[in-house]
Chain A
Amino acid sequence: MPTIIKALQSQVGRKLMTGITGIALMLFLVVHLAGNYAIFASAEAFNIYTQKLESLGILLYIAEAGLLFFVLYHSYLGISIWLGKRKARSSGYEVYKSRGGASRQNLASRSMILSGITILVFLVVHIWSFKFGETEMIMSADGEPMRDLRQLVIDSFTTWYIALGYIVILSLIMLHLFHGAWSAFTSLGVKNKNNTHAFKLGAYVFAIVLMLGFIFIPVYIFVTGGMGSLIAY
């Protein structure tokens, strides 16, 4: 029997880890979405939430290291699978056409590498601006200075190109999940002949609900100019 390390490097192992890291990242997105909605809770809720996260100290570093590992491992696997296909078919077809029917070749599945790399680039920008970017400091209720990330969100999303860019990226994440959310469970071996449609439908519903959840915030802030009644001042 192969060692665990060798098994993880096999075709089955690579696919399995793509699925596991993908599912972990999907779960993270759900938690992230829940956190985002703190912006509607009260004037201070969002900043208190972000400050609480930052005050977790070592726990936050562990969580961040874990996420970074998942993102990098998932990207590495995706890129290496994509590069591998060029090796496995060194000369291509003059004519190539999907048969349709049982095939899941569609815009989502054929563009995984493009949507994936775009999401990766977005992540760098996103983390740069929210984690390391300059933010105005305000006083919290107990007199401690804290970063005004809430204002950063409102300022960003009242800028049309940032709001639009964010919506485009979230649409790409949805596209990635149309194939990814279904494919991950197939990679884990959960699929059988009878549950294919349920998983496919589940993937679409999950991806659409998640996307709508995320883009409601920029759309609302942009449309109301940051002065909407849902946002407390």
Chain B
Amino acid sequence: MSTNMTIHLRYWRQSGPTAKGYFEDRTLSNVNEHMSFLEMLDVLNEELQLEGKDPVEFDYDCREGICGSCNLVINGQAHGPKKGTACCQLHMRNYFDGDHITIEPPRASAFPVIKDLVVDRSAFDRIIEAGGYVSVKTGSAQEANARPIPKNDADLAFDYAACIGCGACVAACPNASASLFTSAKISHLSHLPQGDVERNNRVVAMVEQMEEEGFGDCSNFGECEAVCPKEISIAAIADMRRDYVRAVL
């Protein structure tokens, strides 16, 4: 058995990058508690289209919390209220009949709105292009134990590599800083022997690019860690700072 709920939605509409945006209100009366948040938006769009109106644009791809495409700010929280959960994995059973939900796009000057709830996150791509890679050809996958890596390093690299680049860290940061994303991308490589070679150039180039894109400074608020669907620790940011100082000195 499942129950249908009535949900009062308030969502951002903006027809294009330079257009003036506004909030639109609409009440959905047939929201199933088993729907994911994005499925609830599908229902909204179906209604809008049946009325001949433009659907609300929002980003998504895998809908299973691994691609990092979705990035909605729901009632003031990036990805909504659930810890370690992307909004595609957030289900309507977390809400109550009659709830009011405000949906906004991630707000950052470096993430300009393309349309409605979709923002341009190519600033992240340019940070990666600045140095978030390994230049050597590593060939096909080796036998796992051919090159021993201390467990602690392997664990850290894996934790940081879990970043899906959704940008929730930027969306939630009071300063709109991209430090958690950038540091996770730096640290997941620098803890491994393949990434160690370009460690110094990488950290400097990526920090410079992060700044050039117009992201704000980090004030160690830790909000990024709290909203990260992969629960990446801000220890990554401390790691990036250590690496940066080492590279400069």
Contact = CB atoms under 8 A, between A and B. Distances in A.
B223 interface: yes
Contact of B237 (A10, A105, A186): A186
Interface residues of A, number: 48
A187 interface: yes
Contacts of B75: 95, 97
Nearest to B175: A85
A91 B216 CA distance: 14
Interface in A1-37: 1-2, 4, 7, 10-16
B152 to A, nearest CB: 10
A95 B104 contact: yes
B216 A85 contact: yes
B222 interface: yes
B241 A95 contact: no
Contacts of B23: 94
A105 B220 contact: no
Given A7-B244, A88-B175, A99 B77 contact: yes
A84 interface: yes
A110 interface: yes
Interface in A48-103: 81, 84-85, 87-103
Interface string B232-249: 011101111110110110
A186 B234 contact: yes
A172 interface: no
Interface in B166-209: 172, 174-177, 179, 200, 204, 207-208
A110 B173 CA distance: 12
A204 B242 CA distance: 24
29 contacts: A4-B248, A7-B244, A11-B179, A11-B218, A15-B218, A84-B216, A84-B217, A85-B174, A85-B175, A85-B216, A85-B217, A87-B214, A88-B177, A89-B176, A89-B216, A93-B104, A94-B23, A95-B75, A99-B223, A100-B226, A101-B83, A102-B225, A102-B234, A103-B223, A103-B225, A109-B220, A182-B220, A183-B220, A192-B238
